């Protein structure tokens, strides 16, 4: 087996495994059950798409896909931070609502 043939085989196998990982992450995104599960699944999907772009760039010998991967990594990081802030605020609001309900129940 030559080096080029081995690289092609490894890239194809990697792309297949990345697609399986993407399917698993999508299932977790759809099923949930909590917001944290969905945020982690979305982050995993972002990472798998980035890795797909990197492996595809090697497989097709097209370095422009690496630029796409870098931009997607930056956008994915910002989206994860924004979703984490949203989840934190939502948790604080839920706690506040629970406290108000307990005070009403006590009176």
Assess contact for 66 and 54: CB atoms under 8 A: yes
Assess contact for 69 and 53: CB atoms under 8 A: yes
Residue 67 half-sphere exposure, CB side, CA atoms within 13 Å?
3
Checking if the pLDDT of 95 tops 80, the result is yes
| CA-angle at 105, arms to 102 and 107, nearest 5° | 115
Which of residues 67 and 1 earns the better pLDDT score?
Answer: 67
Check the CA dihedral 47-48-49-52 and report its sign.
positive
Which of residues 30 and 104 earns the better pLDDT score?
Answer: 30
Res. 84 pLDDT band, cuts 50 70 90: confident
pTM for the whole structure: 0.80
Assess contact for 66 and 53: CB atoms under 8 A: yes
The domains located in the chain, with CATH, are 3-106 (1.10.287)
Checking if the pLDDT of 12 tops 90, the result is yes
């Amino acid at each position: 087996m030559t080096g080029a043939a081995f690289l092609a085989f490894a890239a194809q196998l990697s792309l297949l495994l990345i697609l399986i990982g993407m399917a698993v992450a999508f299932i977790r995104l759809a099923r949930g059950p909590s917001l944290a599960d969905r945020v982690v699944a979305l982050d995993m999907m972002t990472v798998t798409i980035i890795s797909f772009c990197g492996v595809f760039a090697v497989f097709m010998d097209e370095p422009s896909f690496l630029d796409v991967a870098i931009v997607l990594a930056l956008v994915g990081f910002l989206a994860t931070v924004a979703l984490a802030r949203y989840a934190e605020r939502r948790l604080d609001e839920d706690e506040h609502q629970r406290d108000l309900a307990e005070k009403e129940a006590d009176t």
